[in-house]
Homo-oligomer: A and B are copies of this chain.
Amino acid sequence: MKKDMIYNFAAGPAMLPKEVLIQIQQDIQQYKISQTSILELGHRTIEFENILSNVKSQLKTLLSIPDTYEILFTQGGASLQFAMIPMNLMHNKQADYILTGLFSELAYEEAKLYGTIRVAGSTKDMQYCQIPTQQMLDISKDSSYVYMCWNNTVYGSMWHTVPDTKGIPIVADMTSCLLTQQIDVEKFGVIFAGTQKNLGIAGLCVVIIRKDLITSTRTSIPTLMRYDVLSKANSMYQTPPIFAIYVVDKVLEWMKQQGGIQVLENQNKEKSSLLYNYLDQSEFYETKINPTDRSIVNVTFYTPNEQLDAKFIQEAKQNGLFNVQGHKHVKGIRVSLYNAMPIEGVKALLSFMIAFESRYKSFV
């Protein structure tokens, strides 16, 4: 099969724009004036300093991040933030967590190691088929922050409005959606995202944090896990994951060339609508997520039975539509339509879905 006919719908690590892959390939052998490969570049070089400051300024521009926020880069992925958030922010030993899927559950379990964690809202008893409404939330004024996962990669649901938390800072895991849509950064205290979905490769996490939340009161925290230490050292307290940061730089440049976040958001809405519109009229496929809470980047659905799901996944792969299987927690089918997925890929998927339905609908 020709590579040009393959579309990778993986939820992450995910596909990268082709233009970015070509650029990276060129830089492997020689990186501009440093005359060493990007894979050999030191972090105490002007070249890397430029990359790091370029990543920051591009993020600031693309997301309209105000000067009252700082951008930090850490290792350990989004998962290490599950510990760093409570360690750094839970000054009064209590925080509110809203449960909307697997990754908010994991963050909740981790936070319980460090203080009293309240469930301020949960749709678990509905199998996470929807996002809690404002009325379903119970925010405590004594909590240091309210934690949420903006886009639920496993279930395919997404917040579409920022809840009112009565002034308590919101901490949002945006691993699977940062830079796929406009967000109003000022409504959040902390936004973080592992980079292996829309921003680049695995091994790096971007943390956008309101500066007043960076404090240094708990010195028993491992040094590398302190936001104040990372901030003071410009995210270079230790050797940072240079190549992963460089890849983000290239991806952000690509996003800018595409026209910025609004253009990408429009594309992602167009891509996901193509699928949702078809799913909604189909009597063969079913999507379980409440229409107003659907993700624009992770679309989940089911055929009439598990055998057909398996057949769908298998035949999709034969047709160049890779990695469409659902997460093991929910099974079924999941396709991820991150920024790098061209609309041609979604159209190819849709054609396949239509053909698959007409081939198998009489058997059920």
Contact = CB atoms under 8 A, between A and B. Distances in A.
A120 interface: no
A25 interface: yes
A224 B242 CA distance: 22
Interface of A: 1, 3, 6, 8, 10, 12-16, 21-22, 24-25, 28-30, 35-37, 39-43, 75-80, 82-83, 87, 110, 113, 194, 196, 201-204, 219-220, 222-225, 237-244, 247, 322-323
B201 A242 contact: yes
Contact of A39 (B10, B43, B247): B247
A40 B3 contact: no
A189 to B, nearest CB: 21
Contacts of A244: 203, 241, 243
A110 B223 contact: yes
A196 B241 CA distance: 9
Contacts of A240: 202-203
Contact of A243 (B10, B203, B225): B203
A222 B83 contact: yes
Given A196-B239, A202-B242, A238-B79, A222 B16 contact: no
A91 B322 CA distance: 47
Contact of A40 (B13, B25, B243): B13
B6 A24 contact: no
A224 B243 CA distance: 22
A248 B108 CA distance: 34
B224 A79 contact: yes
Contacts of A78: 238
